[in-house]
Amino acid sequence: MAFSAASCSSSAALLLLLLLTASSAASDLAADRSALLALRAAVAGRTVLWDAASASPCAWAGVTCENDRVAVLRLPGDSLTGQIPLGIFPNLTALRTLSLRFNTRLTGPLPSDLGQCVALRNVYLQGNAFSGEIPAFFHDRLNDLVRLNLAGNRFTGEVPVGFNKLVRLRTLYLQDNLLSGTISALDLPNIDQFNVSNNQLLNGSIPRSLRKIDKSSFAGTSLCGRPLNLCPGEVDEADSVIPSKKKLSAGAIAGIVIGSVVALIILLLLLLLIFRRNSSQKTRSVDVAAVAKEAELEPQADKSALEAGNGVAAAAVAPAAYNKAAAVNGGVGSKKLVFFGAVPKAFDLEDLLKASAEVLGKGTFGTAYKAVLDAGITMAVKRLRDVTLPEKEFREKIEAVGAVDHENLVPLRAYYYNRDEKLLVYDYMPMGSLSALLHGNRGAGRVPLNWEMRSGIALGAARGIAYLHSQGSSVSHGNIKSSNILLDKSYEPRVSDFGLSQLSGPSSTPNRVDGYRAPEVTDPRKVSQKADVYSFGVLLLELLTGKAPTHALLTEEGVDLPRWAQSVVREEWTSEVFDFELLRNQNAEEEMVQLLQLAIDCAAQYPDKRPPMSEVARRIEELRRSSLEDFQDSVSETVRDVDIDNAPGPQ
């Protein structure tokens, strides 16, 4: 009986604790709600359309809650006007991200009690009219700041040396203000993005920790030192390590000269050998007819060359040889290209045999070639491998692929079937693959992939895959990855290789380590639509992070791309996920975070948790529309301010 009483007492205490916790959470959320309504009353009027009758602010536009607290507040370009009063932010103690960017009529100093939001990680206040000195609370109280953007305001005074205390700080944008003094005492070794340009009164030397930053980030100032011109009396570090010639003896100089000459001769010989070797092996355009003629004489040798991937072949070389062998051996298969639909047959197999061609690359299902026909037509030809289907089954499956027609899918124009060779003829996409664009040359001359391009590619690819899924519940792509997202001359995305997983044997399909395969997929020839969604989620993460999932081992523990992104977000370092090139566009960080969340949703571990592709396409379209509206609003506000500033005063 005593045990029962004790149990009842313990249960009652636990119930009371739960009730108190729930009451406290409700009280905190109510305080958040009151603070937001006070903010709207002070600076927004009716421009922020929140339903004041709603008990919870978590469904309000621009508000995101976590654990029943307001964690994110985003009101970009909402025509907020006036000065933010004291007494609002002390109630928003769980706030992690604050974005009030491009509200050009927000004025006055920042409220000092903003420093009480000690959970803040990301602060975006660019494009407003805040004034006064940069508040000390940014570096004295907000110790976990990762991104701070105060650009395009009217801040004065010096750049606080207290920023050195923020060890997690990765972005500090202070350009287009009225700052003065020096920055030589700044020591920000972990900074990725820094900009103080167009602060004309900034002077002195650029500190060593910031000399890795591009010189454009210091333009419009009186600063000196690398990456700008050297300060007066400063010696370039590169010059300081050059030994003085006066300290070298005549014998040492002679030895250096002789050694240099010998090294140069050896280097030239090596280059000559490498050049000759590459000349015999490099990928080049060839006359296909000539190679085909040789192939008829020695079909097995030519087939071996193709399989070895030496890069000296056209997509249609092998059929000429194998047709002859097939005819002798009673083989089956037509010697004609089979075209789809009512497309004019501008070429035939013979024209393809005469075309010059070059290897584009080897993929999951075979080797792709660029074939330039005599008539000036350029096509892409894929030579399939490991296809053992009988002719009737092959034709049924490939004709289903050829019947698919959508602006975001690479159209299959024709095919060729022979017992030994199967060829697919596609439209040629001149800008190559998304994979090459993302992971290719990152040096000088590269055109960065900005938010507009990446989100457009994401939307087009989503629409193409959603269209495939709309053809039937059993229809899937089966091999979604960045190398299968091709780009036309306008950088519009086209999804390729759809339907080919049904043609090839298991040996030709990628193994699970490629990073795109959904965890539930065991047979690569049987990929569900939900598995396609997983692969597309990985593709979105690749677009946002710039990391190739095929590398798989992003950390020493071997965490794949989805789990790595989830862990970063869970640790509240969301901004650390994004590709550096993408972060240059600070006008779309909210949309980037939304797309990141969509990518994580798509790459959920359990298939039932993943959204359908139709919903994925719709959500991407909505966030792109939101990004465009934000940009248009900010432009309109800027133009309106210019008109007001230039309006004539009373006469």
What are the binding residues for ATP?
Answer: 382
| Phi, psi (deg, nearest 5) at residue 103 | -110, 85
> What are the CB-based long-range contacts (under 8 Å, 24+) for 220-226?
221/196, 221/197, 223/183, 223/196
What is the spatial distance between Cα 352 and Cα 350, in angstroms, rounded to a whole number? 5
Task: Supply angle C-alpha 511, 516, 522, rounded to 5.
Answer: 50
**Under a CB-based contact definition with an 8 Å cutoff, are residues 112 and 84 in contact?**
no
> 603: which 2 tokens?
């790459």
Tokens 């391009």 label which residue?
453
**Under a CB-based contact definition with an 8 Å cutoff, are residues 42 and 89 in contact?**
no
What are the binding residues?
Answer: 382
Q: How far is CA 270 from the centre of its chain?
A: 40
DSSP letters spanning 467-479: HHHHT-TT---S-
Partners of 70 in the β-ladder: 65
Cβ burial, residue 491 (10 Å; 0-12/13-18/19+) = middle
* Positions of E strands within 346-394: 356-362, 366-372, 378-384
* Positions of E strands within 23-127: 63-66, 69-74, 81-83, 97-99, 105-108, 122-124
**Under a CB-based contact definition with an 8 Å cutoff, are residues 314 and 369 in contact?**
yes
What is the spatial distance between Cα 633 and Cα 631, in angstroms, rounded to a whole number? 5
What is the spatial distance between Cα 12 and Cα 7, in angstroms, rounded to a whole number? 8
**Under a CB-based contact definition with an 8 Å cutoff, are residues 593 and 122 in contact?**
no
